[in-house]
Amino acid sequence: MGGRGHGATLEVIADYHTHTIFSHGQGTVRLNAQAAARSGLRQLGIADHGPAMRWGLGVESLETFETIRRDIRDINEVSGTYRGLSVLLGCEANIIDFEGNLDIPPWLQSDLDVVLAGFHVQIRPRSLTQGMRYLVDRALSGMSSYVAKRERIRNTDVVTAALINNKIDILTHPGLRINIDTAELAKVSVQTGTLLEINCHHDDAMLAFVKVAARCGARFVISSDAHNPDQIGQYERGLEVARKAGLCGEQIMNVIAKGEDPEPKLARFRPSTHLAGSAKKRSDLSKDLHEYK
Ligand SMILES: [Zn+2]
Ligand SMILES: [Zn+2]
């Protein structure tokens, strides 16, 4: 039995997707860090929702990330309190238009430790017309296979454009409640070096998605998407999906086989720097995408 092969018992060593009171989580940065330390995690990402989220579900403004950064600095600099744990400043950005732009601008993306992004329906779209077109198609897609097909192509274009035009380390809950071509998305994620998330908070149709994406060579990350510190350290649902999909430790960037040294794995996943090598591929892909429109 190979340590990292199929069938080994896997352990999550980093959780990049947790929310705090700065968006719609219940914990403070410190409470999340305490929970992560108790669970033996080595890295914790604070990934609050971007400001385009409606109804106060996102951060108040981009400046909020500076407040979170100060809270994180306090924790990382108190040596010994959370020995072995690094807290990372991240975000869960929203895709805000059909061109794949995010509500976290590029300058802030480069300034964060880790960039997560997701397709959320509850946002203020950048253009009202696009927002209306999206909602109308979504409402009609159940009644017309033509509209459903058009919606699927557009969703796939929008999400892949977001991957190509931004520095997204992790795409959160891919395909959750949207009709998307998973194989196409997975192929683009390989080119841009974006990890696809196995989300323990929403597991609707996750298994089917992971199986298709894995066949296309995608790499994954398991995360709690914790909205409460108690959910940090609870990865059973994600690990179960990984087991059922037949994934091995090599395909998931934040797990090790039980008892294995975590350092080599942590060193391999360097959010925001691991994308540098894919710059050329990104521009090639943008060209393809523009021709496709
Ligand atoms: Zn989300
Ligand atoms: Zn989330």
Q: Is residue 82 part of a domain?
A: yes
Closest CA to 168 of 191, 152, 184, 134: 191
Q: Which ligand is nearest to the CA of 172?
A: 1
State in Å: Cα 139 to ligand 1 middle. 21
> How many folded domains does the chain comprise?
1
State in Å: Cα 201 to ligand 1 middle. 9
22-65 pLDDT, tens digit each: 998 999 999 999 999 999 999 999 999 999 988 889 999 999 99
CATH of the domain at 107: 3.20.20.140
83-111 pLDDT, tens digit each: 789 999 999 999 999 999 999 999 999 99
Q: Which of 29-38, 44-53, 252-261, 280-289 is the least confident region? A: 280-289
Distance CA 262, CA 152 (A): 39
Q: Give 104's contacts (C-beta < 8 A, 6+ positions apart).
A: 50, 62, 91, 93, 112, 115, 117
State in Å: Cα 286 to ligand 1 middle. 25
Q: Is residue 133 part of a domain?
A: yes
State in Å: Cα 147 to ligand 1 middle. 25
Range of the domain at 227: 10-292
Q: Is residue 97 part of a domain?
A: yes
ipTM of the complex: 0.94
Q: Which ligand is nearest to the CA of 119?
A: 1
State in Å: Cα 34 to ligand 2 middle. 19
Q: Which ligand is nearest to the CA of 225?
A: 2
State in Å: Cα 21 to ligand 1 middle. 15
123, amino acid identity: I
Q: Is residue 3 part of a domain?
A: no
Q: Which ligand is nearest to the CA of 173?
A: 1
Q: Is residue 118 part of a domain?
A: yes
